[in-house]
């Protein structure tokens, strides 16, 4: 079966392009497979040799530099829908913001990361690779993840004693006593709020000086769930008119989101949706 036929089959059966499980939610997939050929995060069956010929060629390139043809996360994260005049009429931003991350035992070993605030998840996660930068090791444990893909038990690590600070270091928040490690935090970089987004709307223009500048080199290394309400609780809201984009301020920063009602169906990239609801239960 040729690559295009495999892609069409996955789309027709509404399978995840990240793990081939049921559901079109690859950009939020917590079970994303790694390609045996190029080591990028898509199933080997969806590897495109024309774009990612070998492991050596791909290992030195990021998904932004060399996206694969298959509509995986590597493709979706860097595409937006433009209107006829070239403006991003349907662009949408999520609650992703830069924070300083550190551990209470080693406060000087802090790392600047992007954090996704996700009130639909009841757990808080961190990328496994960030632990070394903080000078800490996690404790091995098993965790049951319940998502739209179903329920699965995963082997992971947990860590306590983490805290985050806003970019200007005016507020610090202690994270839950159990933060779990994952190899990947599913999120779209294209949905990181940027000052130029606010300039397009009169009622949000004041935020152009309050939203942090986009930083290409910072990774999305953390997902903060509803078990850390101090980080998610809205402190202020700029609403605008009924179908206008609105802005939310938390203790950590301002964030901007466009309501789904302003997006037309054809604006969805490759019929991909952001479906996120993560329920975690640690197995003792």
Using 50, 70 and 90 to split pLDDT, how confident is the model at 200? confident
* One domain, residues 135 and 67: no
* One domain, residues 127 and 168: yes
pLDDT at position 266:
35
More confident residue, 174 or 187: 174
List Cα–Cα distances, 251 to 76, 153, 161, 169, 234, in angstroms.
30, 33, 19, 11, 8
User: Has residue 168 got a pLDDT over 60?
Assistant: yes
Q: What is the mean pLDDT of residues 136-146?
A: 88
Could you list the beta-strand ranges (E) of 104-241: 106-117, 125-127, 139-147, 150-159, 162-165, 172-174, 179-182, 220-224, 236-238
* One domain, residues 189 and 274: yes
Backbone angles phi, psi at 9, to 5 degrees: -65, -45
Q: Give me the domain span that covers residue 8.
A: 1-78
- Looking at the domain assignment, is residue 84 inside a domain? no
* One domain, residues 37 and 158: no
- Looking at the domain assignment, is residue 83 inside a domain? no
* One domain, residues 133 and 29: no
- Looking at the domain assignment, is residue 6 inside a domain? yes
Q: What is the mean pLDDT of residues 16-24?
A: 71
Task: Give the contacts of 205 (CB within 8 A, at least 6 positions apart).
Answer: 198, 199
pLDDT at position 54:
47
* One domain, residues 145 and 253: yes
- Looking at the domain assignment, is residue 86 inside a domain? no
CA atoms of 46 and 44, how far apart (whole Å): 5
Q: What is the mean pLDDT of residues 99-113?
A: 93
The DSSP string of 205-230 is: GGGGGTSPPP-TT--EEEEE-TT-HH
* One domain, residues 143 and 47: no
* One domain, residues 192 and 125: yes
Tens-place pLDDT, residues 256-269: 665 533 443 333 33
- Looking at the domain assignment, is residue 85 inside a domain? no
- The continuous run of DSSP H or E covering 57 comes out as helix 55-59
- Reported residue count of the chain is 284
Domain end (from 51, 78, 105): 78
Domain end (from 78, 106, 129): 78
Report the predicted TM-score, pTM, of the whole model to 2 decimal places: 0.64
- Looking at the domain assignment, is residue 276 inside a domain? yes
Provide the number of structural domains found in the chain.
2
* One domain, residues 70 and 120: no
Instruction: Name the nearest CA neighbour of 166 among 247, 91, 80, 252.
Output: 252
- Looking at the domain assignment, is residue 87 inside a domain? no
Q: What is the mean pLDDT of residues 94-122?
A: 91
User: Has residue 161 got a pLDDT over 90?
Assistant: yes
- Looking at the domain assignment, is residue 11 inside a domain? yes
* One domain, residues 71 and 115: no
* One domain, residues 141 and 53: no
pLDDT at position 174:
95
Domain end (from 44, 78, 112): 78
* One domain, residues 17 and 152: no
Q: What is the mean pLDDT of residues 18-39?
A: 70
């Amino acid at each position: 079966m040729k690559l295009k036929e495999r892609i069409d089959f996955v789309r027709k059966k509404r399978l995840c392009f990240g793990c081939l499980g049921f559901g079109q939610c690859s950009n939020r997939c917590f079970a994303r497979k790694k390609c045996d050929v190029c080591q990028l995060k898509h199933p080997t069956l969806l590897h495109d040799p024309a774009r990612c010929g070998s492991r050596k060629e791909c290992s030195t390139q990021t998904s932004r530099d060399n996206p694969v043809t298959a509509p995986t996360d590597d493709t979706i994260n860097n595409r937006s829908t433009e209107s006829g005049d070239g403006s991003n009429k349907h662009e949408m931003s999520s609650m992703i913001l830069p924070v300083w991350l550190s551990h209470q035992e080693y406060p000087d070993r802090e790392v600047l990361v992007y954090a996704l605030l996700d009130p639909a998840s009841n757990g808080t996660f961190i990328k496994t690779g960030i632990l070394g930068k903080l000078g800490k090791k996690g404790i091995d444990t098993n965790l049951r993840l319940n998502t739209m893909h179903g329920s699965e038990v995963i082997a992971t690590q947990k860590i306590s004693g983490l805290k985050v600070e806003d970019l200007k270091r005016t507020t610090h928040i202690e994270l839950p006593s159990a933060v779990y490690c994952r190899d990947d935090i599913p999120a779209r970089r294209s949905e990181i709020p940027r000052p130029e987004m606010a300039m397009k709307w009169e009622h949000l223009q004041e935020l152009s000086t309050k939203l942090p500048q986009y930083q290409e080199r910072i990774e999305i290394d953390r997902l903060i769930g509803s078990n850390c309400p101090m980080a998610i609780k809205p402190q202020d809201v700029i609403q605008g008119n009924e179908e206008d984009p609105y802005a939310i301020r938390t203790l950590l920063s301002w964030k901007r989101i466009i309501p789904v009602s302003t997006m037309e169906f054809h604006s969805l990239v490759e019929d991909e949706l952001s479906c996120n609801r993560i329920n975690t239960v640690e197995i003792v």
